[in-house]
Structure 1
Amino acid sequence: MRFLLVVPPLAGHVAPLRGVASVLAARGHSVSWCGPVPELSTLVSGRVFPAGDSRPFAVALRPPGLRGFAALKYLWESYLVPLADAMVPGVASAVASFEPDVVVVDQQAMAGALVAERCGLPWATSASTSTELADPLSALPKIASWVGDLQAGLRARHGVLLGDLRFSPHLVLAFTTRALAGPSRLDVPVSYVGPVLSAEPGEWSGSDGRPLVVVTLGTSNASAGTRFLAESVDALAGMPSVQGLVVDPSGTLVSEGVRLARRIPQVAVFAQASVVVCHGGHNTVCEALAAGVPLVVAPIRDDQSMLAQQVVTAAAGVRVRFDRAKAADIRAAIESAGQYREGASRIRESFEAAGGAEEAATRLESLASP
């Protein structure tokens, strides 16, 4: 069988599909990628079909202060829709050349859905984050209608009648579990396969025997997170009973009592951690909970607020204000995190039972079967 994976050049969106692609290839299938180059070529291995140029409207160009509807408006008008328009010709060329049996489409690469529908190919949605599964705009009908109109314009320009391009009527792969995300509100088949963790190499042997508390906001939030990281350093400096590790990609922080690092092998470090303080990015949340580690979540933007709420609802962690939390607030949250260890363990067990990349590959194979 032949599988074409259509993705944006965003590491967090590509990450779960790398593991799925490896399983499919190990089972003897042919797998190719499609998306903007050269960015995508730096994130994946194997054959990459070029589709569009994301640089003129890269999500990284978004003004850092945008929140709420302003951030959503920017995402759709300045990134998702123009990226889809730009990618369609390349995706169509890839389909004609590669002749896939199934197209796998990330939710932020709607060109894959447009071309698959136009060609009559079965396709699956890759939901790299779980927030859309709860249909968050259902309580905001005017905004939902606005998003619908943007999609209607896309469909009209590319000759497609399908409804919501974010959700395949054939299969939605949700890289989470119901135990964390709750039940889907979508009227499409959703398979909760659990997260596919990074297989990044690396070990970490920096433990000094005290409980390890890790603070990370991800590399894309380095500039916006300076204040919060500095407060976290102060919080940990006042907690001599724990070992603090703060990830500071900028390398600007200074501390004698708290360990600082520009980058860490997260999976390896989280396996030794007692508490993880993070921004609520889907991959970071799942990597921590896969190790059964309770969380302190300080959401910054986009889907992170909803992921933070999922963590709180699942009793797997506590939430603090990213823009207002002081050292004392962060310290109190870290000290309270122990009571959420049981909830974090329940999520870990649900992840282990879900099947991950192997289950996702099996679901995709079923779409290609006659």
Structure 2
Amino acid sequence: MSRFLLVVPPLTGHVAPLRAVAAELGERGHDVAWCGPEPITSELTRAGRVFAAGDALEFAVERRPEGLRGFAALKFLWEQYLVPLADAMVPGVEKAVDAFRPDVVIVDQQAFAGTLVASRRSLPWVTSASTSTELGDPLGGMPKIAAWIDGLQDGLRMRNKVSCGDLRFSPDLVLAFTTEALAGPRANGGAVRFVGPALAPAPPVGFPWHLLDGRPLVLVTLGTANAALGRRFLSECVDALAGLPDVQGLVVDPSGGLLSDEVLLAKRIPQAEVVRKAAAVICHGGHNTVSESLASGLPLLIAPIRDDQSMLAQQVEAAGAGVRLRFDRVKAPDIRDAITEVLTVPGYAAAAGRVRTSFAAAGGVLAAADHLESLPLATKGP
């Protein structure tokens, strides 16, 4: 039996794939514990053993200013979120390592504190790349921005007296929860292992299944964190779907403020189950939603808002599995045309099917656990 400590930020999309991996490791007899800002980490992991590392309220997604785009969004992400999060989490991760005595530390790609502490303690550490954004070297053509990020990492390394390399990439193992069919060839070394999505079961949510009438179902979801920001976009989607009599629309509206007689509206849905009954999905490009959709072979319409979503939209388009929409500007007629295109042009479904096949072949949760079990473990002290 080995002991795995999973260090995560308080972000749903980053915890979800590791939750499935943690469950598999537990089934195989390993001891697993989590470490992250509380109380969110306990809520997201639904695990019994969680070590606190920072206050989640200081790093809530809702505190981020709306409307940030481009470099302004990247600058805020690094200067106001990732670096302060690392500094805040380090003491808690240190205590977790002392108490749990892990053999291996599994570190989400945005939880740098795990890398810093593991490196200082000479513990094996693994990167969990919940999204494929960094794998393709997105800043390769922007050397000044790349150097700026290197400088921020240098500051973290100096403050913590470690000399490890890029905090985002373990030299031993990077678990990439995607495949090359979607992300493209890797650009960051031979330690990357593409395992495909690790989709964890979601808590049960009631849904009026009897209202599905047999027409091709188009699901629209922006996730709960984008409810207020996405009101205009969701309203345009309702208008677009109302004008397509041969399609049934379902729009997830967490605020409950939209009204329609032609389109189904819901505050919450059992997303994985609904996706399996859908014909296409409109979303913001969150990695979990994209993965769930492509795992079912569904074409996508992606309206990226921020962070890694633009890169994911680009990857879906490059794979031929969907189209990109302008979140801030798209209108109902444009959305209607895009829905018609992805549902009637066979190439989109065929491309989504190819990605689905690659996901299945990658092995998912079982492959991730196999890779972790193959690591040489740390030598424990007395």
Question: TM above 0.5, one fold?
Answer: yes
Residues matched between the structures, number: 370
Aligned to 1:312: 317
Distance (Å, rounded) in 2 between the aligned partners of 1:3 and 1:368: 13
Q: CA RMSD in A?
A: 1.2
Aligned-pair CA distance for 1:18: 0.4
Residues 41-93 of structure 1, C-alpha deviations (whole Å, 9 max, x = no match): 11111200111123234333111111011111111111100110111111111
SS in 2 for 1:167: coil
Q: Report whether the alignment pairs 1:256 with 2:257.
A: no
Structure 1 contact 20–361 (Cα < 8 Å) conserved: yes
Sequence identity of aligned pairs in percent?
66
Aligned to 1:23: 24
Aligned-pair CA distance for 1:219: 0.8
Aligned to 1:47: 49
Aligned-pair CA distance for 1:21: 0.3
Aligned to 2:169: 167
Cα 1:203–1:290 change in 2 (3 A) is farther
Aligned to 1:215: 220
Aligned-pair CA distance for 1:366: 1.1
Structure 1 contact 174–191 (Cα < 8 Å) conserved: yes
Aligned to 1:273: 278
Distance (Å, rounded) in 1 between the aligned partners of 2:78 and 2:377: 35
Q: So what's the TM-score if we normalise by structure 2? A: 0.95
Aligned to 1:9: 10
Structure 1 contact 84–111 (Cα < 8 Å) conserved: yes
Structure 2 contact 302–323 (Cα < 8 Å) conserved: yes
Aligned-pair CA distance for 1:96: 1.2
Kindly provide the amino acid, as one letter, of the partner of residue 51 in structure 2.
F
Shifted more, 245-254 versus 206-215: the winner is 206-215
Structure 2 contact 10–60 (Cα < 8 Å) conserved: no
Aligned-pair CA distance for 1:38: 1.2
Aligned-pair CA distance for 1:197: 1.2
* Unaligned residue ranges in structure 1 (runs of 5+): none
Aligned to 2:33: 32
Structure 1 contact 231–326 (Cα < 8 Å) conserved: yes
Structure 2 contact 39–56 (Cα < 8 Å) conserved: no
Q: Report whether the alignment pairs 1:93 with 2:95.
A: yes
* Unaligned residue ranges in structure 2 (runs of 5+): none
Aligned to 2:366: 358
Kindly provide the amino acid, as one letter, of the partner of residue 142 in structure 1.
K
Q: So what's the TM-score if we normalise by structure 1? A: 0.98
Distance (Å, rounded) in 1 between the aligned partners of 2:193 and 2:365: 12
Aligned-pair CA distance for 1:187: 2.2
Distance (Å, rounded) in 2 between the aligned partners of 1:350 and 1:51: 36
Aligned-pair CA distance for 1:39: 1.4
Structure 1 contact 203–269 (Cα < 8 Å) conserved: no
Distance (Å, rounded) in 2 between the aligned partners of 1:111 and 1:151: 11
Kindly provide the amino acid, as one letter, of the partner of residue 127 in structure 1.
A
Match for residue 184 of structure 2 among 182, 192, 196: 182
SS in 1 for 2:301: strand
